[in-house]
A = this chain, B = another copy of it.
Amino acid sequence: MKKLINDPEHVVTEALAGMAEAHPGLRVDLENKVIFRRSAPSPGKVGLVSGGGSGHEPLHGGFVGYGMLDAACPGEVFTSPVPDQIIEATKGVDGGAGVLHIVKNYTGDVLNFEMAAELCAEEGVEVASVLVNDDVAVKDSLYTAGRRGTGATVFVEKIAGALAETGASLAEVAKTGEEVNARSRSFGVALSPCTVPAAGRPTFELGPSEVELGIGIHGEPGRTRAPIAPARELARVAMDAVHTDMPLSGDCLVMVNGMGGTPLAELYIVFAEVAAYLREKGATPARSLVGNYVTSLEMRGFSVTVCRLTDDLTRLWDAPVETPALRWGR
């Protein structure tokens, strides 16, 4: 196994130490493994907490900052954060207006966030939660009952985060987060597997000319395997899966996301195909992200996430944001 690490057991802590060095706007609690916005808690503002297994960077720690999350709880690689972490984060960002948990739909994540929310509630912190389950590829999977949560998490975090900055209530922020999730769908394609440092071997095998259609972000199986095909065809498979589940129309926010090991030029080629597909259906790629946002270590491949925008959601998407991985307009 060739990786830029010191010790497979300390990957998460050592990466957090690097984040703390690189981003003075963050306060990283290395002992509890929580990444805080330096200014947290913000009195009167709803606090936003997300988290999940590590190995998906920049998700979630790279989205902590003004206009997005107040804290993120990274679990071990591809492993849910523990309730103690989530409690630490929740209490640490409570500015009196309550805290929103943004949770990807994996059984471990859901259970641990729920447990933390209950314990925080007992201590007087009001907690609401948004469950993200945008991946249309499969229903029920290796780590999930129901659909998996993937790329739409970035949209929910950004848009709910922008609304929270305006002083909106916990109920309003939660409702908008749910709306973003409800209007979003994703589908992923893998060209290669990835290797969890502590395991030391690839999570699955793919033949030299094979791709996995509908891959999950931990390498969970998708719908089927197929021979490698032109980007145009792979993009069409992904977009057909999205469009079948949620007919595309109007202004769309589109993310073409790398899995960690995909050259940026390839993502732009896929994005051009996705944009053409949207126009063909009468929809418009009005806003976009192209790059590595929800990764699976060094996996090669892409996922596409589409959110059907409303005027309000567009305004919130465009609002200023200042995090390590997403930054504009301030």
Contacts and interface: CB of A to CB of B under 8 A. Distances in A.
Interface of A: 2-7, 11-12, 14-19, 21-22, 54-55, 57-58, 62, 191-192, 208-209, 211, 228, 230-232, 234, 260-272, 275, 285, 288, 290, 292, 295, 297-298, 300-302, 322, 327-330
B261 A230 contact: no
Counting every copy of the chain, the complex holds 2
A18 B271 contact: yes
Contact of A17 (B272, B285, B329): B272
Contacts of A192: 2
A327 B324 CA distance: 11
A164 to B, nearest CB: 22
A263 B328 contact: no
B6 A230 contact: yes
Main secondary structure of the interface of A (DSSP, over half): mixed
A230 B5 contact: yes
B272 A3 contact: no
A205 to B, nearest CB: 14
Nearest to A286: B24
A208 to B, nearest CB: 8
Contacts of A228: 2
Contacts of A208: 2
A245 B211 CA distance: 45
Nearest to A3: B266
B6 A232 contact: yes
A4 B262 CA distance: 8
A288 B23 CA distance: 8
Contacts of A58: 264
In the complex, the 4 A-B pairs of residues with the closest C-beta atoms, listed nearest first: A18-B268, A4-B266, A18-B272, A57-B264
Contact of A231 (B5, B55, B271, B285): B5
B270 A18 contact: yes
A103 to B, nearest CB: 21
A234 B4 contact: yes
A268 B298 contact: no
